[in-house]
Amino acid sequence: MSGDLWESRAEKLRWQLAKSLAADGAVTSEAWKAAFAAVPRHVFVPRFYRQTPGEQPVVDESTPDAWLEGVYTNQLLVVSPDVKSSSTVPSLMAAMLEALDPQDDHRVLEIGTGTGYNAALLSHRVGDSNVVSVDIAADLINDAQARLASIGYRPTLGIGDGAEGWAGGALYDGIIATCAPNRIPDAWLDQTRPGGRIVTPIATGVAVVDIEPGRKGEGRFLQVAAFFMPLRPTPRPADLGTQIADIASAIASTRPTDLDEKIWFDDDFRFVLAAALPGIRFLSKLETGVTIFTHLDGSWARLDNGTVAQAGDQQIWNAVEAAHKRWDDLGRPTRDMFSISVKPESQHIRLEGHGVEWALPRVP
Ligand SMILES: C[S@@+](CC[C@H](N)C(=O)[O-])C[C@H]1O[C@@H](n2cnc3c(N)ncnc32)[C@H](O)[C@@H]1O
């Protein structure tokens, strides 16, 4: 395919994507529809890695049809083989950008530059001189800078830990994060003007928080699920393989459980679980046939044919069962029914009127 053909094919697919985002309700404003129709995602995703069992074939311009079709499909794209970064699913990006709702001359800080695509959409919307975007990975920033410049955008890009925000560009009217903190970092509260807004993934949801003076704010969650990578560095067990093998073979007493481990895959419950038990995660080892839940404090639970074994500081499966019962008793509320309250000393997720409140920890 010649360069011109690529461009016209890409433009057509881009329009189709923008139209479908609007038809599905992810894009609700003309301004963001225009941005998605104008900004070429393929410039920011020169290759992606298809996630198939056992292998990750690369898709790039050597197969132009598959590449462009993939890039302009509403899907998450893994852009590095080690899954260090990804291009977020466009409908989720759109929902977050709509929620941020920046006005024409607003200053916006993005945390998690990644490919640079979101920074380009923001540059289209508010002007590149009003956009600052930060990533912890210098190589990603260098690539993003070149791609942005190739289509005429020169936002300020910073290499650093996004938990610190970017003081040089403050105050911002809005901050949008595409990697997930445990709770809103103090620096973001300090760098957002009172009356401004922070949109960030928290506990597998998207929090939309209106900022008040004095490190305070009130907000809500969007209905959409948001499984973003955590804001690095996040403490992780050093050797997952050994850990799984050790837990799979550990001798521990078992008890029966009625709760199916597949509850982990219920999107709405995952939010409640992430809020009630931050730091929990799910590991499945095909060879051992058991399912393992671990916590960052080292506790674990092993599920096997309707029985559970547990060890560590917490009985995490007991906590999962308790969270599930609570969620069930409450009528299985969805993310958008929860609010978030931010105060200088504490941050909480709440289900108003039901006495449900979880504190968000500073560290996992
Ligand atoms: C889902 S990707 C971002 C997608 C991006 N917004 C785009 O449009 O392509 C998440 C990014 O967060 C970055 N990240 C992770 N931890 C970070 C941190 N502490 N500070 C800044 N960036 C971080 C990762 O390097 C990764 O590029």
pLDDT of residue 192: 98
The whole-angstrom separation of Cα 9 and Cα 3 is: 10
User: Which stretches of 24-137 are DSSP H helices?
Assistant: 30-38, 41-44, 64-71, 90-100, 117-126
Residue closest by Cα to atom 13 of ligand 1:
112
pLDDT of residue 236: 56
Name the least confident of 158-167, 244-253, 320-329.
Answer: 244-253
| Shared domain check, 153 and 105 | yes
The whole-angstrom separation of Cα 140 and Cα 200 is: 20
pLDDT of residue 239: 58
Q: Which residues pair with 82 in a beta bridge?
A: none
| Shared domain check, 155 and 34 | yes
Is 86 an annotated catalytic residue?
yes
pLDDT of residue 314: 93
CA 322 to ligand 1 centroid distance, Å: 33
The whole-angstrom separation of Cα 293 and Cα 181 is: 21
The stretch 270-284 carries a mean pLDDT of 91
Tell whether ligand 1 has an atom less than 6 A from the beta carbon of residue 118: yes
CATH label of the domain that carries residue 177: 3.40.50.150
pLDDT of residue 226: 96
CA 22 to ligand 1 centroid distance, Å: 26
| Shared domain check, 215 and 247 | no
pLDDT of residue 241: 67
pLDDT of residue 235: 55
Measured from the Cβ of residue 239, the count of other Cβ atoms closer than 10 Å reads 10
Mutate to test the pocket of ligand 1, among 76, 136, 159 (most ligand atoms within 8 A of CB): 136
Give me the catalytic one of 8, 20, 29, 86: 86
| Shared domain check, 73 and 14 | yes
Q: How many domains does the chain have?
A: 2
Mutate to test the pocket of ligand 1, among 44, 232, 236, 363 (most ligand atoms within 8 A of CB): 232
Contacts of residue 324, defined as CB under 8 A and 6 or more positions apart, other chains included, come to 259, 263, 269, 273
Tell whether ligand 1 has an atom less than 6 A from the beta carbon of residue 89: no
pLDDT of residue 6: 80
Residue 111 pLDDT > 90? yes
Give the tens place of pLDDT for each residue, 6-47: 888 999 999 999 999 999 999 999 999 999 999 999 999 999
CB 310 within 8 A of CB 300: yes
Residue, of 338 and 281, whose pLDDT is higher: 338
| Shared domain check, 259 and 178 | no
- Domain boundary pick from 221, 250, 280: 221
Strand, helix or coil at 212?
strand
The stretch 54-64 carries a mean pLDDT of 90
Mutate to test the pocket of ligand 1, among 141, 153, 229 (most ligand atoms within 8 A of CB): 229
- Domain hosting 317: range is 240-329
226 in a structural domain: no
Tell me what percent of the residues of the chain surpass a pLDDT of 70.
Answer: 95
Two tokens at 35?
């941005």
* Polymer length in residues for the chain: 364
347 in a structural domain: no
Q: Is residue 279 very low, low, confident or very high in pLDDT (cuts 50, 70, 90)?
A: confident
- Domain boundary pick from 193, 221, 249: 221
| Shared domain check, 249 and 213 | no
Single-letter residue type at 199: V
Residue 207 pLDDT > 70? yes
The stretch 83-93 carries a mean pLDDT of 90
| Shared domain check, 247 and 123 | no
Residue 81 pLDDT > 90? no
Residue 84 pLDDT > 80? no
Tell whether ligand 1 has an atom less than 6 A from the beta carbon of residue 133: no
Tell whether ligand 1 has an atom less than 6 A from the beta carbon of residue 134: yes
